[in-house]
Chain A
Amino acid sequence: MAIGVETIDDAVLLRRMLAGDEDSFTLLYRRKHPAIYRFALHMSGNSGVAEDVTQEVFMTLIRDAKRFDPALGTLGGFLFGIARNHLRRRWDQDRGAVPLPGTAEELDAIMLSHVGRRNGGSSNGNGNGHHVAPFPDHSDELVSRENIRRVRQAIATLPENYREVVVLCEMDEMSYEDAAAVLECPIGTVRSRLHRAKSMLTEKLREAEHSPVSRKSAVGR
Chain B
Amino acid sequence: MNRESESLEGEPMNCLEFRELLHELDRPGTRGAAQLDTAMAHAEGCGDCGVLLVEEESLGFALQKIAQETTRMPGASRVEAELLKAFRQEVKPVSLETIPMRPGMRWGVIALGIAAAMLLVLGTVIYQRNLAKAPDAPAVDAVTNPSAKPVDSQSPQSPVSAAQNSNANPTANRVAVNAPTTTKPTSAAGAAEPTEYATAFVPLPYADDPAALEGGSVVRVTLARSVLESYGLPAEGLGAGDRVTADMIVSEDGTPQAIRLVSVAD
- Report which A residues bind B (CB closer than 8 A): 17-22, 25-26, 29-30, 33-35, 37-38, 41-42, 47, 50-51, 54-55, 58-59, 62-63, 107, 110-111, 114-115, 135, 139-140, 142-143, 147-148, 151-152, 155, 166, 169-172, 175-176, 191, 194-195, 198-199, 201-202, 205-206
Tell me the bound Cα distance from A50 to B82 in angstroms.
16
Query: Mostly helix, strand, loop or mixed at chain B's interface?
Result: helix
Query: Is the beta-carbon distance between B66 and A151 smaller than 8 angstroms?
Result: yes
- Report which B residues bind A (CB closer than 8 A): 20, 23-24, 27, 29-30, 52, 55-76, 79-80, 82-84, 86-88, 90-94
Query: Is the beta-carbon distance between A47 and B74 smaller than 8 angstroms?
Result: yes
Tell me the bound Cα distance from A81 to B259 in angstroms.
61
Query: Is the beta-carbon distance between A135 and B79 smaller than 8 angstroms?
Result: no
- Assuming the contacts A54-B79, A114-B69, asked whether A151 and B74 have C-beta atoms less than 8 A apart, the reply is no
Tell me the bound Cα distance from A25 to B91 in angstroms.
11
Closest to B75 in A: A51
Tell me the bound Cα distance from A172 to B75 in angstroms.
21
Tell me the bound Cα distance from A62 to B83 in angstroms.
8
**CB proximity of B61 to chain A, nearest CB, Å:** 4
Query: Is the beta-carbon distance between A198 and B70 smaller than 8 angstroms?
Result: no
Tell me the bound Cα distance from A98 to B42 in angstroms.
41
Tell me the bound Cα distance from A38 to B79 in angstroms.
15
- Residue from A50, A55, A63, A176 whose CB has the most chain B CB atoms within 10 Å: A55
Query: Mostly helix, strand, loop or mixed at chain A's interface?
Result: helix
Instruction: Determine the chain A residues whose CB is within 8 A of the CB of B71 once the complex forms.
Output: 34-35, 37-38
**A51, A140, A171, A176: the one within 8 Å of B67 (CB):** A171
**CB proximity of B65 to chain A, nearest CB, Å:** 5
Query: Is the beta-carbon distance between B79 and A34 smaller than 8 angstroms?
Result: no
Instruction: Determine the chain A residues whose CB is within 8 A of the CB of B80 once the complex forms.
Output: 26, 29-30
Closest to A107 in B: B70
Instruction: Determine the chain B residues whose CB is within 8 A of the CB of A55 once the complex forms.
Output: 79, 82-83
Query: Is the beta-carbon distance between A155 and B73 smaller than 8 angstroms?
Result: no
- Assuming the contacts A170-B60, A191-B24, asked whether A115 and B69 have C-beta atoms less than 8 A apart, the reply is yes
Query: Is the beta-carbon distance between B79 and A17 smaller than 8 angstroms?
Result: no
**CB proximity of B164 to chain A, nearest CB, Å:** 43
- Assuming the contacts A26-B80, A142-B57, A194-B23, asked whether A148 and B66 have C-beta atoms less than 8 A apart, the reply is yes
Query: Is the beta-carbon distance between B67 and A170 smaller than 8 angstroms?
Result: yes
Instruction: Determine the chain A residues whose CB is within 8 A of the CB of B86 once the complex forms.
Output: 59, 62
Tell me the bound Cα distance from A152 to B63 in angstroms.
8
Instruction: Determine the chain B residues whose CB is within 8 A of the CB of A22 once the complex forms.
Output: 84, 87-88
Instruction: Determine the chain B residues whose CB is within 8 A of the CB of A142 once the complex forms.
Output: 57-58, 61
Query: Is the beta-carbon distance between A25 and B87 smaller than 8 angstroms?
Result: yes
Instruction: Determine the chain A residues whose CB is within 8 A of the CB of B73 once the complex forms.
Output: 33-34, 37, 50-51, 54
* 25 contacts across the A-B interface (CB closer than 8 A): A19-B93, A19-B94, A22-B88, A25-B84, A37-B70, A37-B73, A38-B70, A47-B74, A51-B73, A51-B75, A55-B79, A55-B82, A58-B79, A110-B70, A135-B65, A140-B61, A140-B65, A142-B57, A142-B58, A143-B62, A143-B65, A172-B67, A175-B29, A176-B30, A194-B24
